[in-house]
Amino acid sequence: MCTFTSMNVHTPLMVLVAGPYRSGTGDDPAKLAANVRVMNEAALALYRAGHLPVTGEALALPLIELAGSKAIGDSVFNEIFHPIARRLIPHCDAVLRVGGPSAGADEMVSMARAHGKAVYFGLDELPPAQGEAPPPPKPRDPGGFRVPSEGPSRNDAVRITDVRVLSSNWYVLRKVTFDYRRADGTWSQQHREAYDRGNGATVLLHDASRGTVLLTRQFRLPAYVNGHPDGMLIEAPAGLLDGEHPDAAIRREVEEETGVRIGEVRPVFDLFMSPGSVTERLHFFAAPYTRDTRAAQGGGVASEGEDIQVLELPFSEALRKIDSGEIIDAKTILLLQWAERHGLLERTPQGGAR
């Protein structure tokens, strides 16, 4: 964390100051100096208000250019200051946008919003570092939304120009504005909303010796309000990564939900489950279990409101439940059909509910 806490004093913010340096100046020395003065005064005001300002460009670039040339200054900005600012933003608490037009400063604002950081356009908007009211809470960062940086994976036909957080009450809903180059070469501005709930993992627990699979049954509100009779869905164990490696996260989820402690897991595939609006990438696994690997009761985490039933079914019965519509959860159907296609289990009549 880039914040500091002391007794009876509200947490100061680490604030990156973003504003124009050369933009709109025509390299006129007086205009350059005016831009530098705006950023330096903003940094000083932040410091006096008890916050921690972050400015490198406004202080160092003029000195570098006086000692060398504007070409050297450009090189330092492009190769040092700009990349450092990109890396700093995820660790800062906020961005303060000052001064006039600047593509670079606007990019810092978009990056800050993409990372769920606060953006302020005036010193009077910042919360006090001391006083009765604490700073506004920052949106959580589930980890499923990143603006691509320069590199081989970047799509040159997409230019993200603005990201705004619409809601962060549970997970994070963002409105993204971007320019898109169409197949005919023309550019169009588009707007999309992306819901970031983080990435997740799911696993098919199977006992090949008995021909059974271990599933769960729990209430799902979104299914209930969209026509499911009771909202109770049969599913493979699954959960969000919460910063863990996928195979570590799924081991934790399996023990919480089913009480089974599993060892090695087999990666199956990674899929985007609803790429039109949700950023989540789901990691699919398969793992063996036996009657002896149950280490706890399972049932989920009570403090999180979970009330999960554990179902052990013959593999053949689980497949029939897909045909009958009793299993309608996409990740579970994908895992069961993958197991059938790869001959992971035989259709034996053993097993039952527990």
The annotation places the binding site at: 238, 253, 257, 306
* CA gap 51, 71 in Å, rounded: 33
Helix (H) or strand (E) holding 336: helix 330-341
CB 109 within 8 A of CB 119: yes
Letter for the amino acid at 138?
Answer: K
Residues 6+ apart with CB under 8 A from 21: 32, 35, 36, 39, 57, 58, 61, 77, 102
| Strand 238-240 relative to strand 309-314, pairing | unpaired
Helix spans in the chain (H): 29-48, 57-67, 70-76, 82-88, 103-114, 221-224, 246-258, 315-324, 330-341
Secondary structure (DSSP) of 202-227: EEEEEETTTTEEEEEEEE-HHHHTTT
Report the SS3 class of residue 305: coil
Beta-carbon count within 10 A of 6 CB: 9
Binding residues for Mg(2+): 238, 253, 257, 306
Report the SS3 class of residue 235: strand
Report the SS3 class of residue 127: coil
Q: What angle do CA 93, 94, 100 make, to 5 degrees?
A: 160
Residues 6+ apart with CB under 8 A from 151: none
Residues 6+ apart with CB under 8 A from 325: none
